Amino acid sequence: MTIRSVILGAGCYLPSRVVTNDELAKTVDTSNEWILQRTGIRERHIAAPGELTSDLGIKAAQAALAAAKVDAQSIDLIVVATSTPDNTFPASAVTVQAGLGITKGAAFDLQAVCSGFVFGLSTVDALLRAGNFKRALLIGAETFSRILDWTDRTTCVLFGDGAGAVVIEAQDQPGQMTDRGVLTTHLRSDGRHKLKLYVDGGPSSTQTVGHLRMEGKEVFKHAVTMITDVIRDAFAATGYTAQDLDWFVPHQANRRIIDGSVHKLGLDPAKVVITVDKHGNTSAASIPLALCVAIADGRIKQGDLVMFEAMGGGFTWGSALVRM
């Protein structure tokens, strides 16, 4: 027998305010046609004044606990993947922990920008398999609207706010590829690219929060290669191929990056979960949001083989192959 990290349920939360491309075009020099054609984004959700990353995270966590049919008191590990914490410290995870009424176990934030959920899944999987914890909440929660330069049309049209969460449990199992759980994860980073996508402020450098800056063409140039390389690592580790996947749940940055990766890997486009049109890029929240949507509408079911991938600032990138 071996310990496997099994996803018991997923939940999500999106702020109520929806901002369409046409609405954005009233305040920045852009158009619905330009945004849609270059990114696939039609609209995004934006947090209300005073609505914090932890507020989004708590709501997503509550939905995940309900979907998993487990009590908050059974959670002994909370990891919040975010680049937009409520404060520099404490971790937003401890605010989520307190908001859920949990006083035991551990809670911490994880920062890998858009790759945060995949890095978080790998981290939680390792901690559960080491026997340190029994049942975890992994949350991706972001309020990117707070770090955007709303006068910069090259970045402000791309992002949105939201949160997604999963409950992950350590289960004793035979540990075959057909058994449920995280089968393999592969994480990478290369700091030589750090200035291609970054925030121009921080506690140690400027003592300000700063704004997101990006060389879009450079990000695009590297994204498909990095994503497909790390997915191939997952195939090599498990013996599975693109044809074996039931679903592909990519980080939702840009429709063209997703389509390019799908084409290069020879994946069936009908097996790709797309939410970027409705959510924009919600960074670490995008994968659990997409997972939550596809479980709720009946596409992703227990036993399905699902590939997650992400790439983001740093650069960081990674893949995770999961039997749901």
Residues binding ligand ACO (CB under 6 A): 30, 34-35, 38-39, 114, 153-154, 157-158, 197, 214, 216-217, 219-220, 223, 251, 253-254, 257, 281, 311-312
- Asked if 94 and 85 count as a contact pair (C-beta separation under 8 A), the reply is no
Q: How far is the CB of 199 from ligand ACO (least distance, A)?
A: 12
Residue 117 vs 133, nearer CB to ligand ACO: 117
Q: Which residue minimizes CB distance to ligand ACO?
A: 216
Give 311's contacts (C-beta < 8 A, 6+ positions apart).
114, 115, 222, 223, 226, 227, 251, 253, 257, 317
Q: How far is the CB of 218 from ligand ACO (least distance, A)?
A: 8
**Positive or negative, the Cα torsion across 140, 123, 129, 97?**
negative
Residue 148 vs 158, nearer CB to ligand ACO: 158
| Residue ranges in the chain assigned as alpha helix (H) | 21-24, 32-39, 53-68, 92-99, 116-129, 153-156, 216-238, 255-265, 276-279, 286-296
Question: Looking up tokens 């990000």, which residue turns up?
Answer: 219
Residue 157 vs 320, nearer CB to ligand ACO: 157
Is 251 a catalytic site residue?
yes
Of 12, 114, 156, 292, the catalytic one is 114
Q: How far is the CB of 77 from ligand ACO (least distance, A)?
A: 26
Q: How far is the CB of 316 from ligand ACO (least distance, A)?
A: 10
Residue 35 vs 139, nearer CB to ligand ACO: 35
DSSP letter (8 states) at residue 158:
T
- Asked if 288 and 10 count as a contact pair (C-beta separation under 8 A), the reply is yes
Per DSSP, the three-state class of 245 is: coil
Of 45, 251, 254, 292, the catalytic one is 251
Is 292 a catalytic site residue?
no
Is 12 a catalytic site residue?
no
Residue 139 vs 219, nearer CB to ligand ACO: 219
- Asked if 180 and 173 count as a contact pair (C-beta separation under 8 A), the reply is yes
Q: How far is the CB of 283 from ligand ACO (least distance, A)?
A: 7
User: 13 forms bridges with which residues in the sheet?
Assistant: 163
Catalogue the active-site residues. Answer: 114, 251, 281
